Amino acid sequence: MAEPLKLMYDGEFLEQFGGKVHAAWPKFSITDFTKRARREDWDRLELKPRIRRITEALGASLPDDYEEALDILFLIDKECTGFPYLFFPDFVEVFGKEEKHWDRSMEALARFTKRSSSEFAVRPFILEHPERMIPQLLKWADDPNEHVRRLSSEGSRPRLPWGQSLPMFKIDPSPMLPLLTKLKQDPSLYVRKSVANHLNDIVKDHPDLVIELAEQWKGSHPLTDWIVRHACRTLIKRADRRVMSLFGYTSQGGDEEANQLVTEASLSLSQDRVEIGGEIQLRYRIKLAGKPISNDRMKLRIEYGIDFMKSGGKTSLKRFLLSDREYSFGEIAEGLRTHRFANLTTRKHYAGLHVFTLWVNGVEVAKEDLEVIDA
């Protein structure tokens, strides 16, 4: 298993970074900085608290004047690139929110995001001053640098993972639609992914809004079509009828003719129990209708699902893609897939009954039980 990300902030990293600051500003004490960062409960701190601790230690070790301290960081930020340096924009969040620092803080967030990411640090500014930040985000959306354009979309996502939520945009995402529209043909995949993820966040609270937008945007430009498809992934998993129709999936369920889409379906597992850390093979077989329903071919999304046992004894369904393509009528769709029950940083397994299910265009067509036991 990979080491936790927080371990990248070891003594060597802090000393090397301190050396960079000291080279730019000789009054900087590397020893005091590292002691402040690694004091007391350091070993118990997780990733984000460690980032904040480094930020606080940096603030205590640099000049008291925020803008003077910022000038020192500007001297070394070109040498400090990548995920480990999230404490650069965090420094702006912690020390730069006073009104008198507004312009410099906006400059710093845009500058630091080019080398790391300001997507988390910008959110308190949005929460506290939405009326001022919305024009700023729109300005960033026109920036020639893809990282700054991405900041405008990623930083304003209603439900950014690891970030503070933005309740006002959960309630009413419409202020962000002009920004997303600006970026709907962005040449950078990095930016388009953010726009799609932003729209997928909106789906959680306002699915009809995203569906209407998808219907307006689809077909207008190939780059926009990529965004629309990726933005609608949750709606496709839900088998929303309007979205399934928008992307050409053959309908199933709802009338006698459509119910003939799948005539036979089976799902079998290589064993009926597995230890946590083990694996099983699942085999699926689907016999499709033998005569056309409305077209000469049918577009199908075939998935398998697992009702995972959670720590409290409840289950949670997770679906995994098996196939997403066109099939001929009368064709047999079948295959074999290995599923591993190793614990991951994103999923911990618990003993208990797990139900495997087979899905075609969002409709369950077969299922099988599996007992997961402790190793």
Q: What is the pLDDT along the chain (375 residues), one digit of tens a residue?
A: 457 889 999 999 999 999 999 999 999 999 999 999 999 899 999 999 999 999 999 999 999 999 999 999 999 999 999 999 999 999 999 999 999 999 999 999 999 999 999 999 999 999 999 999 999 999 999 999 999 999 999 999 999 999 999 999 999 999 999 999 999 999 999 999 999 999 999 999 999 999 999 999 999 999 999 999 999 999 999 989 999 999 999 875 544 444 568 999 999 999 999 999 999 999 999 999 886 655 678 899 999 999 999 999 999 999 999 999 999 989 999 999 999 999 987 889 999 999 999 999 988 999 999 999 998
Q: What per-residue confidence (pLDDT) applies to 251?
A: 75
Q: What per-residue confidence (pLDDT) applies to 292?
A: 60
Q: What per-residue confidence (pLDDT) applies to 293?
A: 56
CATH class of this structure's domain 122-247: mainly alpha
Q: What per-residue confidence (pLDDT) applies to 116?
A: 95
Q: What per-residue confidence (pLDDT) applies to 256?
A: 42
User: Which pairs with CB-CB distance under 8 Å and at least 24 residues apart come from 347-355?
Assistant: 347/308, 348/311, 349/276, 349/308, 349/309, 350/276, 350/308, 350/309, 350/310, 350/311, 351/276, 351/309, 352/309, 352/313, 353/309, 354/306, 354/307, 354/308, 354/309, 354/315, 355/306, 355/307, 355/315
Alpha carbons 58 and 8: distance in angstroms, whole number:
17
Q: What per-residue confidence (pLDDT) applies to 260?
A: 66
Q: What per-residue confidence (pLDDT) applies to 257?
A: 41
**Residue 372: partners with Cβ closer than 8 Å, 6 or more residues away:** 273, 274, 275, 276, 309, 341, 349, 350, 351, 352, 353, 354
* Whether the model pTM is above 0.85: yes
Query: Where do the structural domains in the chain lie, given as residue ranges?
Result: 1-118, 122-247, 258-373
Per the CB < 8 A criterion, the answer to whether 373 and 276 are in contact is yes
Cα within 13 Å of Cα(256), Cβ side: 0
Alpha carbons 45 and 24: distance in angstroms, whole number:
29
Domain 258-373 classified CATH 2.60.40.3880? yes
Alpha carbons 38 and 9: distance in angstroms, whole number:
10
